[in-house]
Amino acid sequence: MLDPGQEQDIIRRIVAGDKALYALLVDAYTGPLFNLALRMTGKHADAEDAVQDAFLKAYAMLRSFDTQKRFFTWLYSICLNVLRDRQRHTARAAERFTADEVEATPSAAPGPDATALANEREAAVLRALARLPLAEREAVVLRYMQDISFCEVAAILNISENAAKKRVYQALRRLHGLLREFGAAQPDSHR
């Protein structure tokens, strides 16, 4: 990930005409955006499409970006908006994951000595996430699966930090209930 100063410098240079530098932003943030999109959609192809759309939208709006803010936060907001739009415009928004539909994320893929229990737990968590209301799913994925601070979650979701905390904790309560329903172990919510 780039620091805020690097982001600002790169963006200023892109806006000034050095469009090839956009590749630096794409390289820096493709992984985190893909992980976010995959955890929100549960499908590799859908996640890839959403990330591509987010980068295209960000590029098109780059001149309006406030360089006093974090590009990372702005880009995450754009990606979440793309994901919301996709869910509103497709029948898949109502689908529920089944164990065989859930795909593991690259960062969370089990190692060679991982047990079937770990795979089953991850699938149950993703199924449960899919059943959360979208706003709660976004908040919990950003905070605990993307490891983003509450302050940044609030900025990405354009809500207060207290509202972000409340949304995350509501999501965790629902998630725990859903995991009990699925008979899966509870995720660690004490971070």
Categorize the per-residue pLDDT at 87 as very low, low, confident or very high, splitting at 50, 70 and 90. Answer: confident
Q: Tell me if 88 is assigned to some domain.
A: yes
Q: Tell me if 30 is assigned to some domain.
A: yes
Verify that 2 and 82 share a domain, yes or no.
yes
Domain that residue 168 falls in? 114-185
For residue 63, give the CATH number of its domain: 1.10.1740.10
What are φ and ψ of residue 65, in 5° steps?
-70, 135
Verify that 12 and 88 share a domain, yes or no.
yes
Q: Tell me if 109 is assigned to some domain.
A: no
Verify that 5 and 56 share a domain, yes or no.
yes
For residue 171, give the CATH number of its domain: 1.10.10.10
Verify that 65 and 122 share a domain, yes or no.
no
Verify that 78 and 46 share a domain, yes or no.
yes
Return d(Cα 109, Cα 105) in angstroms, integer: 6
Which pLDDT belongs to residue 150? 94
Q: Are 155 and 112 in contact (CB under 8 A)?
A: no
Q: Tell me if 191 is assigned to some domain.
A: no
Categorize the per-residue pLDDT at 22 as very low, low, confident or very high, splitting at 50, 70 and 90. Answer: very high
Verify that 118 and 91 share a domain, yes or no.
no
Verify that 77 and 137 share a domain, yes or no.
no
Structure tokens at 186: 């509870």
Which pLDDT belongs to residue 181? 83
Return d(Cα 135, Cα 170) in angstroms, integer: 10
User: Stretch 110-129: mean pLDDT, rounded?
Assistant: 68
Q: How many domains are there within the chain? A: 2
Q: Tell me if 108 is assigned to some domain.
A: no
Q: Are 83 and 137 in contact (CB under 8 A)?
A: no
Return d(Cα 49, Cα 54) in angstroms, integer: 9
Domain termination site, one of 50, 68, 95: 95
User: What is the CA angle 84-85-88, rounded to 5?
Assistant: 85
Verify that 125 and 71 share a domain, yes or no.
no
Verify that 61 and 145 share a domain, yes or no.
no
- Per-residue pLDDT tens for 122-154? 777 888 888 889 899 999 999 988 889 999 999
What's the predicted TM-score (pTM) here? 0.72
Return d(Cα 3, Cα 13) in angstroms, integer: 16
CA distances from 131 to 47, 69, 82 (A): 18, 33, 19
Percent of the chain, pLDDT > 90? 50
Verify that 40 and 91 share a domain, yes or no.
yes
